[in-house]
Amino acid sequence: MKKILILGADGYLGWPTTMHFARKGYEVLAADNMIKRQMASACDSAPLFNNLKFKDRVQRLNKLYCLNVSCVEADLAEYENIKKIFTEFQPDTVIHYAEQPSAPYSMMDIEKAQFTLNNNLNVTFNCLAAMQNICPDTHLIKLGTMGEYGTPNIDIEEGWIDIHHKGREDRFIFPRAASSLYHTTKVLDTDLIWFYVRTYGLKVTDLMQGPVYGIRSTSNGDELNNGLSTHFYYDDIFGTVLNRFIAQSVAGFPLTVYGSGGQTRGYLNIIDTLQCVELAANANIANGQLNIMNQFTETFSVNELASLVQSAARSLGLDCTINNIKNPRKEKEEHYYNPVSTKLKDLGLSPNLLTHDVLCEMIEYVSFYKNEIDIKKISPRIKWT
Ligand code: USQ
C-alpha cells in the first residue's frame, strides 16, 4: 500500500482524510502543528464541540481500529522540518492542506495577512523544494480553491484555457481573480507549483475545491460516536457558509445572507472531498505533469442555500428566518457562473448531493449541541473595506 503523508492533518478536512486513508490500509503519516486551533482561540472562535488534542486523537484512532498511523507535530513552514519528514518517510503521495484556510482571517489586519501569506506560500514552497531535492517521484496533491478563478463572465475551464491570439494559439493556466488575500495565496501557490513542475519535472495535482459542508465524514458516521469527529466551526471567521446556516437555524438566529445573496459557488459534501482526494491519489500522473481538477458537485447561490436550510429547518419544527445583511466582503453579488467539472467524475466520483435529508441530518446532529452555540460568534466582524 502507498505511503501517504498528510500535511494539516488536524484540520476540518485533514483529520477525516487521515482516518479515511488509514482505514483503507494506506501507511499514513499525519503532520500538523495545531496552529488552526490557536488561531481560532485567539479570534474568540471555537468549534461547536471540543475534540481531543492531535496526538491523542491519532492514538484513539489507532486503538479503536487497530491502525498504525504515525503523527508528527511540526511547523511545516520551516524547511528543516519538512526536509526531515520527507527524508525519513519517503512518501509516495503528499496531501497538502496545511494552509491558513479562512478568507476573513486573512483580511483582519496586517499581522494576520502576513501570517497567511508567509505560512501558505512557505509550506507549498517547502513541499516542492523537498520533492525536488529528496523525493522527485512523489505525487503532491495540493488543495487549491475554486475561488482562485473568481467569478468571470465566461465558463470556467478545469485549470487550463486555449487562447487564440493574432493568428497563433497556446495553452495557459485559466485567468485568476481572487477576492480575498487567502484566495490570492492559493493563486500564488498554483504559479509556484507550475514553475516547479515545468522546470524540475515534479508531478502535482492541484484541486480547485469549492466550499465544503458537513460533519459526518464516513457512510455510517461511527467517528461521531467514537470521539473522532472533525472540528465543526460556525463562526464568522472559520465556518463555511452552509455549516454556519445550519448552526444559525438551530440557534434560531436569522440566516446571515451577505448582500443580495446571488453569489454562486460550487459546493461539496465533506464525504466527497475524501472521495476526490483518493481518486486523485490513485490516478495516473507523470513527472512534469500539473493536473488541475475542479472539485465540487453542484452549484448554489447563497439565496438558494438559505432557502434549502430554511425549508429543512421548518420541516423539523424550527422557526427559521432569513436576513439579507450588508455584505462585509467585496465580491460580485450577481454574476455569471458556469464552471466545468468533469475530470473527477471521469475518474469515478459518485456525488453525495445536498438533499433535504442531508440537511435535516445535519440540523438534527447540531441540535444536540444547541446550548453550546454562542450567538455572539455569528455576525460578521471583519470587513474587506
Ligand atoms: N456568505 C454569506 N453568509 C455567511 C457566510 C458566507 O452570504 O454567513 C457568502 C460569502 O460572502 C461567499 C459565500 O457565502 O460569497 C461562500 O463563503 P464561505 O465563507 O463559505 O467560503 P469562502 O470564504 O469562499 O471560503 C471557503 C473556505 C476556503 C475555500 C473556499 C472555496 O473557507 O478554504 O477555499 O470556501 S471557494 O469559495 O470556492 O473559493
User: Which of 97, 241, 325 for mutating ligand 1's site (highest number of atoms within 8 Å of CB)?
Assistant: 241
The finding on whether 210 has its CB within 6 A of some atom of ligand 1 is yes
Distance of CA 312 to the CA centre of its chain: 25
Nearest atom of ligand 1 to the alpha carbon of 143: 34
What was the pLDDT predicted at 250?
Answer: 98
Looking at 93, 145, 230, 264, which residue is catalytic? 145
What was the pLDDT predicted at 101?
Answer: 98
What was the pLDDT predicted at 19?
Answer: 98
Tell me, what amino acid is at 264?
T
Full-prediction pTM beyond 0.75? yes
Q: What distances in angstroms separate CA 49 from CA 172, 232, 337, 363, 369, one per listed residue?
A: 44, 7, 35, 15, 7
In three-state secondary structure terms, 18 is helix
Nearest CA to ligand 1 atom 11: 258
The finding on whether 146 has its CB within 6 A of some atom of ligand 1 is yes
Q: pLDDT digit of tens for each residue in the chain (385 aa)?
A: 899 999 999 999 999 999 999 999 999 999 999 999 999 999 999 999 999 999 999 999 999 999 999 999 999 999 999 999 999 999 999 999 999 999 999 999 999 999 999 999 999 999 999 999 999 999 999 999 999 999 999 999 999 999 999 999 999 999 999 999 999 999 999 999 999 999 999 999 999 999 999 999 999 999 999 999 999 999 999 999 999 999 999 999 999 999 999 999 999 999 999 999 999 999 999 999 999 999 999 999 999 999 999 999 999 999 999 999 999 999 999 999 999 999 999 999 999 999 999 999 999 999 999 999 999 999 999 999 9
- Ligand 1 centre to CA of 26 (Å) is 32
The finding on whether 305 has its CB within 6 A of some atom of ligand 1 is no
- Please count the residues of the chain: 385
- The burial of 299, by beta-carbon neighbours within 10 Å (0-12 exposed, 13-18 middle, 19 or more buried), is given as middle
Is residue 200 part of the annotated active site? The answer reads no
The finding on whether 328 has its CB within 6 A of some atom of ligand 1 is no
What was the pLDDT predicted at 336?
Answer: 98
What was the pLDDT predicted at 1?
Answer: 83
Nearest CA to ligand 1 atom 15: 263
Nearest CA to ligand 1 atom 34: 145
Q: Where are the beta strands (DSSP E) in 108-213?
A: 139-145, 160-165, 168-173, 203-209, 212-213
Is residue 182 part of the annotated active site? The answer reads yes
The finding on whether 258 has its CB within 6 A of some atom of ligand 1 is yes
Is residue 186 part of the annotated active site? The answer reads yes
Sign of CA dihedral 311, 295, 213, 243: negative
Q: Which residues pair with 324 in a beta bridge?
A: 257
Q: 333: which DSSP letter?
A: S
Nearest atom of ligand 1 to the alpha carbon of 103: 23
Nearest atom of ligand 1 to the alpha carbon of 180: 23
**Integer Cα distance of 352 and 359 in angstroms:** 12
The finding on whether 373 has its CB within 6 A of some atom of ligand 1 is no
